[in-house]
């Protein structure tokens, strides 16, 4: 097996194709040379005709001949015949396309202008027509040769296009690798910046005022849960009392039906607004005690326990210490909030939180893009490997020589 760098593969293939199809290429070269000579001859004949035209005359004959010559010579001048000894299928096709255009030009201009000056230049026109017909015949031979004999050469020459395809695949792979490097660097940078922001956040959160605010917030929640737990002990009694209110036309004492129902909509908030001595709740509890005696049916042991709890709330102000503690800690937390706002800490924390959120999102997007690019690289390598192996097999079929295409990636 021969190792061949990709950059040398084009010359390697050209040499193989030139050797294997030497005879056909020689025939093709000969056909193109013959056509080229005949085209130059036609050009010279047109030149000869042009020299016979009197430039001082301005009649229809002179104008027609001049335009015919100019049209044909312009068509010929605009084309450059393939040079070099290694004629390719593309060269044959290029000449065939040129000849098609030349014949169309000759037919169109000939029909339009030749009848107007034929009588004056019969001999010249006859010579030109004869030369054009000869080229037309050679064109037919070239067309048949390119289609019937040059197909294998074309297929072999088309293989060189795969070199460019491999180069494109390598370029795509390298671009994906570059994106991976860039994204990796971006992610590392974002990680460092996030760590710095989080450290700044920790410093701000360790501010004594912030710590006190957080302590108050935790204590506030604890006291709220304790108060709600105490209120839950009379929850069933309240539910039964509400049913009594709905079924009885009579108004309760101390507190109206509406006030009672509004109070029960959010029992905890109503209690806090009621205050440490909660006069409204104590009035409601007085009514509930009466209901326990008259309407509310409970087992004697449960009934006695609930009565004791309600009496403690009503007469002994059992909720008062919890409410006072709760209100005090709320006031303390509000004072901390004001002090923190005056100091600017809360604003700084809010700004840092937003920056951390935005940067975290950027990092997440970059990590998702990185994963996508890694998948692209794996796919690119897989496709490149399969393409390279198939290409090497085709080269073996052409050259009977095993090769390994070396890729710089």
Residues 315 and 197 occupy one common structural domain = yes
Residues 373 and 250 occupy one common structural domain = yes
Residues 99 and 240 occupy one common structural domain = no
CB atoms near residue 359 (< 10 Å): 16
Residues 245 and 297 occupy one common structural domain = yes
Nearest alpha carbon to residue 28 among 168, 149, 198, 175: 149
Residues 118 and 142 occupy one common structural domain = yes
pLDDT of residue 202: 83
CA count, 13 A, side-chain hemisphere, 23: 2
- CB pairs under 8 A, 24+ apart, for 248-251? 248/295
Enclosing domain of residue 298: 162-409
Reported as a single tens digit per residue, the pLDDT across 317-339 is 999 999 999 999 999 999 888 87
Residues 150 and 282 occupy one common structural domain = no
CB atoms near residue 218 (< 10 Å): 12
pLDDT of residue 300: 58
Residues 61 and 194 occupy one common structural domain = no
The Cα 207–Cα 210 span in angstroms is: 5
Residues 170 and 87 occupy one common structural domain = no
Which of these three, 134, 158, 182, is where a domain ends? 158
Q: Which residues contact 314 (CB under 8 A, 6 or more apart)?
A: 282, 285, 286, 289
Residues 135 and 171 occupy one common structural domain = no
Token pair of 33, please? Answer: 């040379």
Helix (H) or strand (E) holding 406: strand 403-406
Reported as a single tens digit per residue, the pLDDT across 179-235 is 999 999 999 999 999 999 999 888 877 778 778 888 899 999 999 999 999 999 989
Residues 80 and 173 occupy one common structural domain = no
Which of these three, 102, 134, 158, is where a domain ends? 158
Which of these three, 158, 189, 204, is where a domain ends? 158
Angle at CA of residue 308, ends 307 and 311, nearest 5°: 85
Gyration radius of the chain's alpha carbons: 50
pLDDT of residue 366: 94
pLDDT of residue 357: 94
Residues 24 and 69 occupy one common structural domain = yes
Count the domains in the chain. Answer: 2
Residues 293 and 221 occupy one common structural domain = yes
CB atoms near residue 347 (< 10 Å): 11
Question: Is residue 264 a contact partner of residue 238, using CB atoms and an 8 Å limit?
Answer: yes
pLDDT of residue 191: 95
Residues of the chain with pLDDT under 50: 296, 298
CA distances from 327 to 58, 111, 283, 322 (A): 116, 110, 22, 9
């Amino acid at each position: 097996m021969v190792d061949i760098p990709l950059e040398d593969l084009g010359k390697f293939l050209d040499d193989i194709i030139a050797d294997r199809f030497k005879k056909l290429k020689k025939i093709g070269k000969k056909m193109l040379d013959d056509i080229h000579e005949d085209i130059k001859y036609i050009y010279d004949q047109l030149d000869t005709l042009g020299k016979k035209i009197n430039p001082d005359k301005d009649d229809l004959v002179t104008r027609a001949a001049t335009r015919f010559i100019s049209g044909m010579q312009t068509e010929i001048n605009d084309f450059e015949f393939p040079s070099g000894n290694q004629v390719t299928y593309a060269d044959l096709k290029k000449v065939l396309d040129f000849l098609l255009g030349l014949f169309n030009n000759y037919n169109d201009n000939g029909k339009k202008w030749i009848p107007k000056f034929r009588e004056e230049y019969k001999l010249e026109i006859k010579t030109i027509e004869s030369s054009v017909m000869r080229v037309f015949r050679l064109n037919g031979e070239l067309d048949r040769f390119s289609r019937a004999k040059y197909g294998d050469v074309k297929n072999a020459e088309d293989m060189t296009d795969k070199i460019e395809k491999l180069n494109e695949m390598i370029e795509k792979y390298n671009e994906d690798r570059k994106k991976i490097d860039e994204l990796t660097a971006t992610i590392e940078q974002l990680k460092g910046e996030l760590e710095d922001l989080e450290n700044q956040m920790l410093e701000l959160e360790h501010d004594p005022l912030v710590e006190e605010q957080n302590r108050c917030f935790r204590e506030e929640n604890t006291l709220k849960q304790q108060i709600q737990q105490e209120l839950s002990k009379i929850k069933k009694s309240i539910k039964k009392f509400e049913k009594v209110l709905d079924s009885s036309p009579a108004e309760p004492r101390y507190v109206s039906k509406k006030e009672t129902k509004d109070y029960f909509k959010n029992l905890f908030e109503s209690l806090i607004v009621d205050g440490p001595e909660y006069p409204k709740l104590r009035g409601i509890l007085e009514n509930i005690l009466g209901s326990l005696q008259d309407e509310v049916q409970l087992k004697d042991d449960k009934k006695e326990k609930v009565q004791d709890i309600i009496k403690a709330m009503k007469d002994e102000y059992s909720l008062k210490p919890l409410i006072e503690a709760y209100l005090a800690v709320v006031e303390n937390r509000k004072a901390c909030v004001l002090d923190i706002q005056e100091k600017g800490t809360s604003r700084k924390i809010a700004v840092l939180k937003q920056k951390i959120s935005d940067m975290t999102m950027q990092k997440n997007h970059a990590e998702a893009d990185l994963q996508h690019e890694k998948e692209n690289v794996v796919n690119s390598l897989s496709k490149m490997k399969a393409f390279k192996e198939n290409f090497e097999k085709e080269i073996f079929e052409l050259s009977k020589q095993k090769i390994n295409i070396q890729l710089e990636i």
